[in-house]
Amino acid sequence: MFLLSAAYKISTNLGFLEPKIIYRNRNEFQGKTETMLTFYFKQNFWAGGLYRFNYGPAFYGGFKISQQFKAGYAYEISPGGQSASINGIHEMFLSYQFAKKKSFGH
């Protein structure tokens, strides 16, 4: 698998915006590109959307429960041409950070 991504943080009065582009390529499928835009509100909440080319859009959000725990939700709209019985994909997550992140050069 090959993954290439680029992002940039833009500071605002309430937090920051992060536009991102990701390209993934695997032997099993043709390369996929997605663009994302996430707004982080005071480092405790985030919300955003993404678009996967030749697939469709998704929306997501989440919040910090504590320093180690985070929770979130995402909704992926079914791509065109899929079965009418698929109304989209709902995802929920709960994450735990075991160790403090290390910064580069330290």
Mean per-residue pLDDT of the chain:
86
Which CA distances in Å does 32 have to 22, 37, 58, 71?
8, 17, 15, 27
pLDDT, one tens digit per residue, over 56-92 is 899 999 999 998 999 999 999 877 655 545 678 899 9
Give pTM, 2 decimals.
0.77
Q: Higher confidence at residue 6 or residue 52?
A: 6
Buried b (16+ CB within 10 A) or exposed e, 18-37: bebebeeeeeeeeeeebebe
